[in-house]
Amino acid sequence: NQELLTVKNLKKYYPITGGVLGKEVGQVKAVDDVTFSIRRGETFGLVGESGSGKSTTGRSLLRLIEPTSGEVWFDGKQVTSLKKDELRPLRRDMQIVFQDPFASLNPRHTVAKILEEPLQVHNIGTPAERRKKVEQMLEIVGLNSYHAQRYPHQFSGGQRQRIGIARALMLNPKLIVADEPVSALDVSIQSQVLNLMQDLQRDFGLTYLFIAHDLSVVRHISDRVGVMYLGRLVELAPSEQLYEKPLHPYTQALLSAVPDPDPDNRRERIILQGELPSPANPPSGCTFHTRCPHAMDICRTVRPEFRDIGGDHFTACHLYNE
């Protein structure tokens, strides 16, 4: 089976309550009917503005957030039908790296303790074996064994992200969900961490879901890229194809804002009208119609299906209906 992870019709709705009785007055459709799969060994880039549902999607896959409906399949098992206490073996195979390693690393624990904890939780190895594995892992992510007795605040942002990555690797996972792992880092440090992640992918046979708000970050590391807008996937294509021939008007606008060093590739900057609508009150039909330069009558009433346009390229837009 080529696919490691399959997501079918995933939805995550949050109730909005109001009034003195706290009655449910509406819903925020944070993730609204998202379908895609991730192939073994690939990097799948998931891109969108904040509030597009990309983090909620990533966390739902690991059931750090409980989806409202839909299915998640991982390595032949249906994640969404497992009981809470059946999730443990799965947690070994699927790990997450967060945007802000400082917030995700316990400030009162040494690096040794932080890295050893996943092994303890899963009862792996003797204390001596665990310490050895911690030291090896520090070297693998470009730190040193003498860093083991230090605390998170004694490291730079880039080093802390290396620790976050080391922690995610301690259990030899198959899939890593990386939720904007370099967004908080300086540009010069970003490429170091991205290079490290690519080396680790090769050496450990990892599969990545790489979440970012910026198309330029995922461009070179992703095999395929999905673009989200207001909780929905609007386009999905092999990376090169998406960057060279974006089909969805939203992707076209996002890409027009990314500087391209090749003067032959200069795109005209597309400025989107209006603000990002509230996910609590999304527009009807195609949710992008309020900002789309190509909006037609049908766009205001009929939701475009997410369709295969050919060549592993999918989009949800009425411009491509024939």
Chain contacts with ligand SF4 (rule: CB under 6 A): 248-249, 286, 288-289, 292, 294-296, 299, 304, 317-319
N-term to C-term CA, the chain: 32
* Per CB under 5 A, 161 contacts Mg ion: no
Residue closer to ligand SF4 by CB (options 87, 302) is 302
Residue closer to ligand SF4 by CB (options 66, 305) is 305
3-state SS, residue 222? coil
46 binds, among ligand SF4, Mg ion, none (CB under 5 to 8 A by kind): none
AA identity, residue 198? Q
Residue span binding Mg ion (CB under 5 A) among the ranges 6-14, 47-55, 130-138, 223-231: 47-55
Residue closer to Mg ion by CB (options 165, 170) is 165
User: How many Å separate Cα 246 from the centre of its chain?
Assistant: 20
47 binds, among Mg ion, ligand SF4, none (CB under 5 to 8 A by kind): none
Residue span binding Mg ion (CB under 5 A) among the ranges 53-61, 215-223, 264-272, 281-289: 53-61
Contact 284, 300 (CB under 8 A): yes
User: How many Å separate Cα 17 from the centre of its chain?
Assistant: 28
CA 257 – CA 204 distance, rounded (Å): 35
165 binds, among Mg ion, ligand SF4, none (CB under 5 to 8 A by kind): none
Residue closer to ligand SF4 by CB (options 309, 319) is 319
* DSSP for 127-148, written as a single string: HHHHHHHHHHHHHHTT--GGGG
55 binds, among ligand SF4, Mg ion, none (CB under 5 to 8 A by kind): Mg ion
Closest separation in Å from C-beta 32 to Mg ion: 16
Residues 6+ apart with CB under 8 A from 309: 247, 315, 320
Contact 254, 215 (CB under 8 A): yes
CA 226 – CA 244 distance, rounded (Å): 14
Residue span binding Mg ion (CB under 5 A) among the ranges 52-60, 74-82, 84-92, 244-252: 52-60
Closest separation in Å from C-beta 310 to ligand SF4: 17
* Per CB under 5 A, 55 contacts Mg ion: yes
3-state SS, residue 305? coil
Residue closer to ligand SF4 by CB (options 97, 299) is 299
Residue closer to ligand SF4 by CB (options 248, 313) is 248
Contact 75, 89 (CB under 8 A): no
Residues forming the site for Mg ion (CB under 5 A):
55
